[in-house]
Amino acid sequence: MDINSNEINKKLFEAIDPNNSYSMEDFDTEFNSVNHTAHISDLKMSIKFINKSNNEDPEFQTDGAAGFDFRANLPSEGEVITIGPSGSGNNVAMVPTGLFFELPESIELQVRPRSGLAAKKSITVLNSPGTVDSDYRGEVKVILINHGTEEFVISNGDRIAQGVLSAVSNGQFVRLDKVDELNETERGSGGFGSTGVK
């Protein structure tokens, strides 16, 4: 069977869509004869990017890694960005990465905090997760906030956040329908904390 990675990707998205009649069983039947090991590189989705930074290209560090690291791109030798402690009035900074992406229409790039920075330094992504839309072609910049009691200094090349690619149901696939009322559920309008802690 000749493999067509675009067709396989399209069929796979159809198979995992609960609103589609095409199922995972249908997918397995249709592509059962494909040698998945031999063609695994052909099945990978291509995400194009430009690296205008002076840092190494982003990459997944392991096969199981959900995301890749964003590094700070500070153009001047010895330049740093200092984020003040919480309550100082200067505890937020927008950090450039020098990275530009071209994403498929069905994919978003989420900018998420790095767990080590959050746990050890109280540094996180302010608009977590930040979203890079598929039609955005500008530089990815990371908005960091310092919730800690000490200032935090960022140098060129520091790993400041991580990028996670995620499928989205956007205007290409979803229609928003305005109605006068919604179907009732047992929970109803119960909001924050309505289900309790235990």
Q: In this predicted model, what pLDDT tens digit does every residue of 67-86 receive, in sequence order?
A: 999 999 998 888 999 999 99
- Give the model's pLDDT for residue 35: 52
Q: Which residues contact 143 (CB under 8 A, 6 or more apart)?
A: 92, 93, 94, 95, 125, 126, 127, 130
Q: What does the pLDDT read at residue 57?
A: 97
Does the bond joining 129 to the residue before it have cis omega, within 30 degrees of 0?
A: yes
| Torsion angle of the four alpha carbons 76, 77, 83, 88, in this order, in degrees rounded to the nearest 10 | -80
Give the mean pLDDT of 176-195.
82
**What per-residue confidence (pLDDT) applies to 38?**
47
Instruction: Please compute the mean of the pLDDT values over residues 143-164 and round it to a whole number.
Output: 97
Residue with tokens 């400041």: 160
Helix (H, G, I), strand (E, B) or coil at 117: helix
Query: E strands along 37-194, which residues?
Result: 48-51, 68-71, 80-83, 92-102, 107-112, 123-125, 130-132, 139-146, 152-155, 159-167
Give yes or no for a contact between 175 and 117, defined as CB atoms under 8 angstroms apart: no
Q: What percent of the chain stands above pLDDT 70?
A: 89
Lowest pLDDT segment from 6-10, 30-34, 80-84, 137-141: 30-34
Mean pLDDT of 106-124: 95
With a cut of 50, say whether residue 133 has pLDDT above it: yes
Residue 17 has pLDDT above 90, yes or no: no
CA–CA distance, 52 with 139 (Å, rounded to integer): 9
Please answer whether residues 59 and 122 qualify as being in contact, where contact means their C-beta atoms are separated by less than 8 angstroms: no
Between 121 and 8, the higher pLDDT residue: 121
